[in-house]
Amino acid sequence: MGLFTTLSSASRALDAQRFGLEITGQNIANLNTDGYARRSPILVEQSMHDGGGVQATGVSAARDAFIEARLRGELPAQARDGAIVDSLAVVQTSLGQPGKSIDGSLTAFFDAFSALSLNPQSAVARDGVVLQGRLVARAFNDMAGRLADSRSAADSQVRGIAGQVNALAARIATLNAQIGGANGADVEPLKDEQGAALKQLAALTPITVVAGETGGVDVSIGSGRALVVGGNDYALGVSSTGISGLAAITSGGVDITAELSGGKLGGVLEVRDALVPAYQTSLDQLASDFASAVNAAHASGYDANGDPGQSFFTTPATVAGTAAALTMNTAIAADPSLVAASGTGSAGDNQAATSISQLRDAMAAGGGTSTFTEAWSQIVYRVGTDAQSAEQDQQSRQDVVSAISHLRDAVSGVSLDEEAGYMLRYQRAYEANAKFFGVVNQALDTLMSLVGGA
Amino acid sequence: MRLTFNTVRDGLEAIDAAAEQLQSAQWQVSTGRRVRIPSDDPAASQSAINTQGEIGALDAYTRTANTADAHLSALDSTLGDVVDKLTQALTTATGAHGNTADQTSRDAASATLAGIRDAVADDINSRFDGGYLFGGTAGNTIPYAKGAGGWTYQGNSASRSVEVSRGRSVAFTMNGEEILKGSDSTDVLTTLDGLVNAVKTGDNAAIGSGLDALQRAFTRAVRAQSLVGADEAALGDAKDRINELRLGAGERLSNAQDANLADAITKMSQAETTYRAALGAVGTAEKVSLLDYLR
């Protein structure tokens, strides 16, 4: 092997060490890049027959498909619980503090009838009853409105998440096409992006990923509904259904909403379609029970004019929607003398007012199993336990996701200390090779001077 | 196993968790409350709502009991006055009974009886808190009025009751006719009218029957007063019981939603230490690198 061959070998070695330094720089630069897999230069020894030395032949990325799949498998459950926790946090806040919400309005309403029972002919006491009647109806209306808002907010999120799923599916399909058509070019950055997109997608909804031969992935959701196949994506549709106008998710024209139980999408759907509707049903039942009991007691009495009492509250024909539509009888609201305080028709009698004030302790809610205040406390308890359960589940899922993320980082993550070591190693190797290059070059100079001298 | 330090994930997660604990502890100390939202303690939230409702009911009972107490006091003092007046009437009419009194004495006794009649009428038509005490539930109709045909009871036989505790009611208006007339054919006001004339004219037979009627009215008034007195005593017991229940409910509410301040302050201190430790750990880990040692 001649000096020129040795010089070429030293030159390739310098290239290889510089390439190693470049890879180290790339790793350090992407220390905080989500989805980035640590790169390593592929250095191959050159045989002495081929001039010797080393050749940088490519780059390898440290990935573990099994860990990536485990992470994608755990993310949906964590994201689902997180979505429920976030949505129910708003619902919980809207329930108000004990004594200052529906329960406080009920207490004030019964207090007003109690005051009226003390002095049934008092115009002030009658005005108080009308005022508290309006306020308790409004309290139910407001609470129903807040729950409806929570449901609408969840529906908006459903639509937004469907859009995010479609955007990610389109990106993954594009990446599939780019990876498949790379023709030997470096596809690792594309695979990093593919992995990050799959991770984001898995947090939105559970996915099944099948790796293709060319490095692309096919993705399906629900019960095997294709979302991405090769370079094609099949966008989810969103259609408004029924009177409520709530969004239904479709795939290929088929409603697959019921299949989407996991991920952030599943959590939001759970809040929209199961949890909040259950609270609304309970609230409507409470409002209906309350209005029915008060109306019955009020209608059995007599107003200040000696006429039979009317229904105190106006309610819709069905229990559903009662909380939102509950209003005071407009005639009574306009004329407090129509409040029926008397049970006999005598102006000074207070039996009807007393009967209504006694409803405070009556087991008239929940099919005769609880008082109105207890029924309200049961709704609050249910919201609290639902949220608490989701919080605890989310925490345990978070621990699992965190543990798997650490496993992934053990394989794919960038360690600054490690890269610093590599940087020093490549730097020293470059210096040594440069020195060697200089020595060979000097030898060549010596040889050339001999030739020139001859 | 390779170890990597992910500042965003590991560091901030630890800092966030510690900050959340510190914020929660600070909230407990600053507000004195333990439960911020139902999920903090669903059972305590439920208990707090039910106890607040119980307190609302007890406060309402306290208000009605206080009002009933005032009414019963007014009834008691008015009936006491009626008893006094009837006693005076009995004494006066007894003095005029027989043949010992001269006309001047009879005239004076007659005038006294007329005054007593008017005083009893005033008593029985007493108003309190905007209503008549002895008109039953007839509202704003004056109980006894004198017309061309004599005295007429315009109230009714009912009474207005209020609930002063669960299942216990107290009547605070009365049927005036039951006191002044009872099962007699005439009320005591008409009896006094008759006595005014009988004493003036020295009609001993009429005075004698009038005295009998007065005695019966006296007995009815004393019985009514004793019933009111019994209600007052029972009401006092009911109020004591309500106060005890109210204290108990307040304690339950405090247990359900109030923070144990000593515990909360200790937790806040611990949370602050944890927060500082988390910040310090992240800061220290970020500072240390092999790069610092390579020259």
A308 within 8 A of A126, measured Cβ to Cβ: no
Q: What is the pLDDT of residue A267?
A: 97
What does DSSP assign to residue A47?
P
Helix H, strand E, coil C: the string for A291-308 is HHHHHHHHHCCECCCCCE
Would the CB atoms of A402 and B13 count as touching at under 8 Å?
A: yes
What band does B260 get if pLDDT is binned at 50, 70 and 90? Answer: confident
State the burial class of residue A418 (Cβ atoms within 10 Å of its Cβ: 0-12, 13-18, 19+).
middle
Q: CA of B294, closest CA in chain A: separation in Å?
A: 8
B-chain CB neighbours of A118 within 8 Å are: 63-64, 67, 129, 162
At B259, list the tokens: 């923070």
User: In the predicted model, is pLDDT for residue B291 greater than 80?
Assistant: no
Best of B4, B41, B62, B154 to substitute, by most chain A Cβ atoms within 10 angstroms, is B4
Average pLDDT of B88-108?
90
Q: What is the pLDDT of residue B85?
A: 96
What band does B16 get if pLDDT is binned at 50, 70 and 90? Answer: confident
Share of chain B above pLDDT 70, in %: 96
Average pLDDT of B119-138?
93
Shortest CB distance from A348 goes to which of B5, B52, B138? B138
Q: What is the pLDDT of residue B195?
A: 95
Q: What is the pLDDT of residue A290?
A: 98
Cα dihedral A69→A73→A75→A79 (10° resolution): 150
Rounded Cα–Cα distance for residues A272 and A90 (Å): 13
CB atoms within 10 A of CB B61: 24
**Distance, CA of A433 to chain centre:** 55
What band does B7 get if pLDDT is binned at 50, 70 and 90? Answer: low
Average pLDDT, chain A: 93
B-chain CB neighbours of A403 within 8 Å are: none
pLDDT digit string, tens, across residues A74-96: 999 999 999 999 999 999 999 99
* Residue of chain A whose Cα is closest to the Cα of B3: A410
Q: CA of B172, closest CA in chain A: separation in Å?
A: 9
Would the CB atoms of B49 and A377 count as touching at under 8 Å?
A: yes
**Chain A CB within 8 Å of residue B166 CB:** yes
A-chain CB neighbours of B138 within 8 Å are: 346-348
- Provide the residue type at B173 as one letter: T
Average pLDDT of B185-191?
94
Average pLDDT of B212-239?
94
Average pLDDT of B92-107?
89
Average pLDDT of A387-399?
93
B-chain CB neighbours of A350 within 8 Å are: 137, 160-162
A-chain CB neighbours of B287 within 8 Å are: none
Rounded Cα–Cα distance for residues B130 and A343 (Å): 20
- Provide the residue type at A235 as one letter: A
User: In the predicted model, is pLDDT for residue A186 greater than 90?
Assistant: no
Would you tell me which residues 38-67 of chain B have a C-beta closer than 8 angstroms to some C-beta of chain A? 38-43, 45-53, 55-57, 59-60, 63-64, 67
How much is the ipTM here? 0.85
Rounded Cα–Cα distance for residues A91 and A147 (Å): 7
Q: In sequence order, which residues have a C-beta less than 8 Å from that of residue A10 and are 6 or more positions away?
A: A53, A433, A436, A437, A440
Average pLDDT, chain B: 90
A-chain CB neighbours of B3 within 8 Å are: 410, 415
A144 within 8 A of A323, measured Cβ to Cβ: yes
Would the CB atoms of B7 and A32 count as touching at under 8 Å?
A: yes
A62 within 8 A of A74, measured Cβ to Cβ: no
User: In the predicted model, is pLDDT for residue A454 greater than 60?
Assistant: no
Rounded Cα–Cα distance for residues A237 and A172 (Å): 18
CA proximity to A169, closest of A125, A107, A235: A235
User: In the predicted model, is pLDDT for residue A394 greater than 60?
Assistant: yes
What band does B1 get if pLDDT is binned at 50, 70 and 90? Answer: low
Q: What is the pLDDT of residue A203?
A: 96
Shortest CB distance from A103 goes to which of B8, B49, B131? B49
What band does A241 get if pLDDT is binned at 50, 70 and 90? Answer: confident
Helix (H, G, I), strand (E, B) or coil at A322: helix
What band does B166 get if pLDDT is binned at 50, 70 and 90? Answer: confident
Rounded Cα–Cα distance for residues A352 and A365 (Å): 20
Q: What is the pLDDT of residue A7?
A: 87
Rounded Cα–Cα distance for residues A341 and A355 (Å): 9
Q: What is the pLDDT of residue B8?
A: 61
What band does B282 get if pLDDT is binned at 50, 70 and 90? Answer: confident
User: In the predicted model, is pLDDT for residue A299 greater than 60?
Assistant: yes
User: In the predicted model, is pLDDT for residue B147 greater than 60?
Assistant: yes
Q: Is the pTM of this model over 0.95?
A: no
Would the CB atoms of A121 and B139 count as touching at under 8 Å?
A: yes
pLDDT digit string, tens, across residues A201-230: 999 999 999 998 888 999 999 999 999 999
Phi, psi (deg, nearest 5) at residue A184: 90, -10
User: In the predicted model, is pLDDT for residue B178 greater than 60?
Assistant: yes
Would the CB atoms of B39 and A391 count as touching at under 8 Å?
A: yes
pLDDT digit string, tens, across residues A24-41: 999 999 988 888 999 999
CA proximity to A333, closest of A125, A140, A133, A119: A133
Q: Which residues make beta-bridge pairs with A313?
A: A328
